[in-house]
Amino acid sequence: MLRRLQIRNYALIRELDVDFTSGLTIITGETGAGKSILIGALSLILGQRADTTVLKDKGNKCIVEGVFDVDGYGLEPLFLENDLDYDKQVIFRREIAANGKSRAFVNDTPVNLKTLQDIGLRLIDIHSQHQSLELGNRLFQLMVVDYYAGNSALLKAYQHKYKVYKALLAELTTAEETAQLMRQELDYFQFQLEQLSNANLQSGEQEKLEHELTLLTHADELKTAFLSVANLLREEDGNALVRVKESVNILNRILKFYPEAAGLIERVNSIYLEMSDIAAEVAYSSEKMEIDPGRIVYLSERLDQLYSLQQKHHVSGEEDLIKLRDDFELKVSSVFSNDESLLALKNSVNEKENELLELAEKLTKNRKSVTERMGQKVEEQLYQLGMLNSKFLVEISSGLPLTQWGRDEANFLFTANKNGELNEISKVASGGELSRLMLSIKALISKSKALPTILFDEIDSGISGETADKMGNILKEISLDMQVINITHLPQIAAKGDVHYLVYKEDTEQETITRLKLLSREDRVDEVAKMLSGEVITEAARLNAEELLK
């Protein structure tokens, strides 16, 4: 529940500290005194957006801080989910700088506004006349039924599985779309794979083929060249080998009187042996060099096949073609293996859907089990609030498509007239009737311990007399189970409070500011009396106030 609220530099408030207690807290004050300003400041720490127009002093920042007791409300998982340290007492702080920048903190840890909103929704419910319009909202109606049915844990378990289910469903949709595209391309993949596989590609083959084809296409020229070299070396008159051999003989003749010729003889002999070896090799090469037109045709066709495939696939060699072939093989394989994955994913989705249907059925059963009792309780409350002929019915439509709330839709039907036809609230309830309906429903769910605090902003608008007194009793009853803060103009309701604050304006020489005062017992008598008789407090009004406060 809300323990303390501190406000600095907000609207007409320069500085305000107020402590709150359990039970029923009453806030009263003249119209325009600043009661709505308190709600606005509180809304800031619950995640409402703001700008520099809220700054009283444009040169300083606005700070709003709220201290909440949260023990026993099951908020630990929410704090864990948002990476926040959990404590039994939580401090919310919001700062609006003079330049318009906003910062938010939970227990001094910076957070975004959504985190404030998510946690704030579990801490306090600010009810205004505007919120009464939510009574016509089907989702709000379903939430009310769940509060009353005690479906919190069951709904949380369902929504966790629903989140997993939706993620799997999205994954399945993407997988099916991918599989469909892959199946559409399967024929193309298989054709390309077959063509590349039939080509029997081998690493390094193209270079060998090109070399062999070059040799064969120049076979005549090569054969002639080899033969010419062989003739020059040994088969024509005056051939090189004969001349080298003769050189050796001449040098040998002078060796006996010119010993230094031995070195020359050795070198020329070496040349002779090398040339003899070359002559033998070129002669052999000439003999084996054969012209094979059939082989040339084969090599040309094989290379044309390789060149054509490279041009078709925009690659530069057989290595790239081999890689491409392997890629197509993988894609074809993936199409068939993907079907198996798709089947497994479908089974997972079906499994989660069955689990959801089972939990949804439990939600439906719980919801339908309380509808009759809900109708009776609301009618009893409305009777106390002077709506003697009201009828209220809760309808649950089930078997709908799965949503994060199950498979049900709630519909609140109402009539304020005797023998009147039940119809949707939004179509038949007036503003005053909506306020009393909302109070009755809030009273209905107050025992669910779903919220620590509820703030009513002039929910008593449009009522008076005995009905106001009965509304005060209902507010008092709600405050036995949760903290209730009520802004009111009615003395009958103000007198029911455990604590009473007065909002008022104070004029100084420089400015008008809003202040909040905790009223003593004597002050409360004066304030209630003033609410009864106006500015001039009569003795009768004072006695009446005393009686109300008893």
pLDDT at residue 448 tops 70: no
- Identity (one letter) of the amino acid at 427? K
In this structure, of 213-222, 408-417, 437-446, the range with the lowest mean pLDDT score is 213-222
Q: What is d(CA 393, CA 376) in angstroms, rounded to the nearest whole number?
A: 8
Helix (H, G, I), strand (E, B), or coil: what is residue 513? strand
Number of domains comprising the chain: 1
Give the burial class of 134: count Cβ atoms within 10 A of its Cβ; 0-12 exposed, 13-18 middle, 19 or more buried.
middle
Q: What's the chain's average pLDDT?
A: 86
**What is the tens place of the pLDDT at every residue in 332-351?**
777 666 777 788 889 999 99
Helix (H, G, I), strand (E, B), or coil: what is residue 218? coil
Closest CA to 520 of 501, 547, 544, 496: 501
Sorting pLDDT into bands at 50, 70 and 90, what band is 134? Answer: low
The pLDDT, as a whole number, for residue 193 is 79
Alpha-carbon distances, residue 27 vs 197, 260, 502, 528, 540 (angstroms): 86, 134, 6, 12, 23
Sorting pLDDT into bands at 50, 70 and 90, what band is 265? Answer: confident
**What is the tens place of the pLDDT at every residue in 368-393?**
999 999 999 999 989 888 888 999 99
Contact 111, 91 (CB under 8 A): no
Percent of the chain whose predicted confidence (pLDDT) is above 90: 29
The pLDDT, as a whole number, for residue 130 is 57
Q: Which residues of 510-527 are buried (b: 16+ CB within 10 A; e: fewer)?
A: eeebbbbeebeeeebbbb
Contact 145, 367 (CB under 8 A): yes
Sorting pLDDT into bands at 50, 70 and 90, what band is 20? Answer: very high
Helix (H, G, I), strand (E, B), or coil: what is residue 7? strand
Mean pLDDT confidence for 290-299: 81
Mean pLDDT confidence for 475-482: 90
Which H helix or E strand runs over 381? Answer: helix 318-384
Contact 413, 401 (CB under 8 A): no
Q: Which residues of 321-360 are buried (b: 16+ CB within 10 A; e: fewer)?
A: bbebbeebbebbebeeebeeeeeebeebbeebbebbeebb
The answer to whether position 19 is within a domain reads yes
Mean pLDDT confidence for 106-120: 89
The token duo for 238 is 């005056």
Relative orientation angle of helices 539-549 and 521-533, to the nearest 10 degrees:
120
Sorting pLDDT into bands at 50, 70 and 90, what band is 157? Answer: very high
Sorting pLDDT into bands at 50, 70 and 90, what band is 409? Answer: very high
Residues 6+ apart with CB under 8 A from 536: none
Sorting pLDDT into bands at 50, 70 and 90, what band is 437? Answer: confident
- Identity (one letter) of the amino acid at 361? E
**What is the residue range of 85's domain?**
1-123+451-519
Mean pLDDT confidence for 49-59: 81
The answer to whether position 502 is within a domain reads yes
The pLDDT, as a whole number, for residue 236 is 58
Residues 6+ apart with CB under 8 A from 309: 195, 196, 199, 321
What's the DSSP call for residue 468?
H
Mean pLDDT confidence for 462-479: 86
**What is the tens place of the pLDDT at every residue in 510-530?**
888 888 999 999 999 999 999
Helix (H, G, I), strand (E, B), or coil: what is residue 266? helix
The pLDDT, as a whole number, for residue 393 is 95
Percent of the chain whose predicted confidence (pLDDT) is above 70: 96
pLDDT at residue 129 tops 70: no
Contact 456, 474 (CB under 8 A): no
pLDDT at residue 124 tops 90: no
The pLDDT, as a whole number, for residue 200 is 86
Q: What is d(CA 148, CA 229) in angstroms, rounded to the nearest whole number?
A: 112
In this structure, of 51-55, 200-204, 237-241, the range with the lowest mean pLDDT score is 237-241
The pLDDT, as a whole number, for residue 373 is 94
What beta strand segments (E) does 462-509 contain? 483-487, 499-507
Sorting pLDDT into bands at 50, 70 and 90, what band is 255? Answer: confident
Which H helix or E strand runs over 110? Answer: strand 109-111
The token duo for 232 is 């020059």
CA neighbours within 13 Å on the CB side: how many for 169? 13
The answer to whether position 276 is within a domain reads no
pLDDT at residue 404 tops 60: yes
Mean pLDDT confidence for 442-465: 79
Q: What is d(CA 449, CA 482) in angstroms, rounded to the nearest whole number?
A: 7
Q: What is d(CA 361, CA 406) in angstroms, rounded to the nearest whole number?
A: 8
The answer to whether position 103 is within a domain reads yes
Relative orientation angle of helices 318-384 and 465-478, to the nearest 10 degrees:
130
What CATH number is attached to the domain comprising 14?
3.40.50.300
The answer to whether position 492 is within a domain reads yes
pLDDT at residue 228 tops 60: yes
The answer to whether position 73 is within a domain reads yes
Q: What is d(CA 309, CA 205) in angstroms, rounded to the nearest whole number?
A: 14
The answer to whether position 42 is within a domain reads yes
What's the DSSP call for residue 536?
S
Give the burial class of 300: count Cβ atoms within 10 A of its Cβ; 0-12 exposed, 13-18 middle, 19 or more buried.
middle
Mean pLDDT confidence for 213-226: 78
Q: Which residues of 463-489 are buried (b: 16+ CB within 10 A; e: fewer)?
A: beeebbbbbbebbbbbbeebbbbbbbb
Q: What is d(CA 470, CA 441) in angstroms, rounded to the nearest whole number?
A: 15
The pLDDT, as a whole number, for residue 93 is 94
